[in-house]
């Protein structure tokens, strides 16, 4: 099996910021979306397992994510792992997510059991905000306050940056503490430092 480095693999994206790969029950690619199919170099990338990642931890996370999406049943009581974040030596950030395909749609998607969704994120903070909203059920305003606090800003500085009153920021902070099950700003920052986004 020939491996493609992450940098080469991202180069295959070209100017596209996303791609969808359809996976069969074994996790092998059955087809690509039309945007990817136009690019002849995508034919080299017939298997996601060919991606060479320097970090074995990230490779294992990607394998677990794909396997979990393939094993995900209709009753799906176990939540899927979060998307895998990958960075190249040049600083480009890529997220790979796997989505199970319902049984009713598999025939229409060439027998695909899962979709591997690959996207490049121009600003990691945009994804972090989305992560906070999904993982902790924060509102967009609460997520904005949380991002600034996680970056080391005081509540007063965060309120000025967001152009909101200190009272509104405090109200958001109380809600953030409740939703994240934390009690102090230091606990919140520690929680976010270990978040897997």
Provide the pLDDT for residue 77.
Answer: 64
Per-residue pLDDT, averaged over 187-195, amounts to: 82
How far is 188 from 178, CA to CA, in rounded Å? 11
pLDDT at 42: 39
Higher-pLDDT residue of 54, 137: 137
Q: Residue ranges per domain, the chain?
A: 4-122, 126-193
pLDDT for residue 23 is more than 80: yes
Where do we find the tokens 């970056």? 151
Q: What's the rounded mean pLDDT across residues 157-182?
A: 95
What are the distances in angstroms from CA 24 to CA 28, 50, 109, 115? 6, 16, 10, 9
Cα separation, 191 vs 197, whole angstroms: 12
Sorting pLDDT into bands at 50, 70 and 90, what band is 4? very low
Q: 78-136, pLDDT tens digit by residue?
A: 778 878 877 766 666 777 888 888 888 888 877 888 888 777 776 666 678 888 888 89
Query: Which CATH code is given to the segment(s) 4-122?
Result: 3.30.450
Collapsing DSSP to helix, strand or coil, 22 comes out as strand
Lowest mean pLDDT among 27-31, 65-69, 136-140: 27-31
pLDDT single digits (tens) 25-47? 888 777 655 445 444 343 334 45
Which tokens is 138 given?
């924060």
| 23: Cβ contacts below 8 Å, ≥ 6 apart | 29, 30, 48, 66, 69, 70, 98, 112, 113, 114, 115, 116
**4-5 vs 51-52, strand pairing mode:** parallel
Model pLDDT, residue 141: 94
Closest CA to 53 of 19, 92, 98, 86: 86
Distance between CA atoms of residues 168 and 4, nearest Å: 49
| 155 Cβ contact partners less than 8 Å away, ≥ 6 residues apart | 145, 149, 166, 169, 170, 173, 185
Could you tell me which CATH class the domain 126-193 is placed in?
A: mainly alpha
pLDDT reported for residue 101: 85
What is the percent of the chain where pLDDT is above 90?
20
- Residue 166 vs residue 130, higher pLDDT: 166
**Summary mean pLDDT of the chain:** 76
pTM exceeding the 0.75 threshold for the entire prediction: no
Residue 163 has pLDDT above 90, yes or no: yes
């Amino acid at each position: 099996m020939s491996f493609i480095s992450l940098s080469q693999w991202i180069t295959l994206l070209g100017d596209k910021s996303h791609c969808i790969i359809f996976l069969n029950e074994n996790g092998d690619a059955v087809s690509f979306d039309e945007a990817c199919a136009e690019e002849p170099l995508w034919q080299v990338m017939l298997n996601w397992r060919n991606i060479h990642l320097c970090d074995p931890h990230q490779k294992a996370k990607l394998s677990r994510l794909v396997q979990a999406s393939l094993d995900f049943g209709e009753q799906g009581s176990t939540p899927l792992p979060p998307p895998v974040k990958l960075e190249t030596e040049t600083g480009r950030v890529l997220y790979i997510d796997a989505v199970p395909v319902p049984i009713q749609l598999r025939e229409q998607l060439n027998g695909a059991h899962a979709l591997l969704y690959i996207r490049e994120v121009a600003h990691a903070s945009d994804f972090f905000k989305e992560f906070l909203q999904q993982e902790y059920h924060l509102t967009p305003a609460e997520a904005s306050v949380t991002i600034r606090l996680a970056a080391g800003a005081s509540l007063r500085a965060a309120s000025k940056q967001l152009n909101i009153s200190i009272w509104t920021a405090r109200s958001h902070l109380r809600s953030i503490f409740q939703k994240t099950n934390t009690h102090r700003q230091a606990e919140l920052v520690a929680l976010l430092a270990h978040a897997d986004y």
